[in-house]
Structure 1
Amino acid sequence: MTASMILNQKFTVTKFREGYDMSEVDSFLDELGMVAETHEPAELEAMLREIPPKRFQVTKFQNGYDMIEVDEFLDAVEAGFTERLRELHTGATSGTGSLGASGSEPFSQSARVPLSVADLHEPKFTVTKFREGYKKQDVDDFLEELRRSVARATAIELQSIPDRILNAQFKVVGFFKEGYDMLEVDDFLDAIGTKARNSR
């Protein structure tokens, strides 16, 4: 992962759900890019102290960057910086595609983790009763369909998952009927859709 890979990283743009302020993320990526190929341990150590607690302004109903994608990318950069710092201290190279190493693979390849059935474990959504929620059976049936698709692991089915999530519709139940918290379900499916896209 070179400086250019960091600076050219693309994230899904959100609008009708929460996202990170695009200018703040871009500005931080500029900082990371400047440090990416440094041979100064002090600069890497200083940046490593900034990455984990970094927070961006959250947007809604205006363009922002997908928060999960940004967080996962920063995790990968942090791991790369940590390995690069280790190499500088020991003079060793891991050959696993760390930051600045020759022949390293871009984030989209080296840090890619395939979607698995474990990602679709039965999540514990908050059950609503005195406010609207998604019909529990609809959500449970949809998640079971996704689990079966991932278990079969055919290319066509895996590639269709993001679109199936995007087009999913669940019946909304009203007061005095138990349902699943709609925001929790939406956030969970957003995360699954993002990982499925990155698994392609």
Structure 2
Amino acid sequence: MLLTADHVEQMRLPTTTSREGYEKSSVDAYVEEIVATLRAWETEADDAAPDYVLHSGDVTGAAFPAIPSIHDEGYEEERVDEFLDNVVSTLVHYETRAAAGASAGAPGAGAGDGVGAGAGATMTADEIARRTFNVVKFRGGYDRQAVDAFMTRIVATLRAHEAGTWRRGGPDGLLTSADVINIKFQATALRSGYEQDEVDEFLDDVAQALAAYEVRD
């Protein structure tokens, strides 16, 4: 479900006094930024990206101070995290649509270009199946086995989209754009691993490609 500024503005997050929660003032301030961001997208002409907004990556990396229950009332951490996941999905939707519009208006773009033929169509399962990453040693990289396993799921997800069989909440193992944005890999220390920046940039492209498909579905 895409969130709206009005929905977020009227939302009331549950609080807790029986266990650790997020500091209310920090969360409230961030929610105000989210409302401003969503309103900017909703009122922007021609689906262009507004000048000042939070980006999906900003929300993915958001962190709040924790308040022990013995000190004060805080927001339930799981509910805040679920809300932020929905915010990320909504922002990815807007960002992908804006990127597709920019691509369609670029020199050499064909009349048939757009969300359907844009990001989602430029990344195929076969291309991902052949994708490799640089391996680093003696500095932090991502666990190769974990990344390879996730790549297998990305390939399966893209194949489902290409075949028209992907459905939200469908078979286990298939991914959404939010799943890709939120994935965290363990960093290696003494073992070789994949170059972190390279993997992160690739996953940003995958998330946009999946979001482009999800807009259509």
TM-score (norm: length of structure 1):
0.49
TM-score (norm: length of structure 2):
0.46
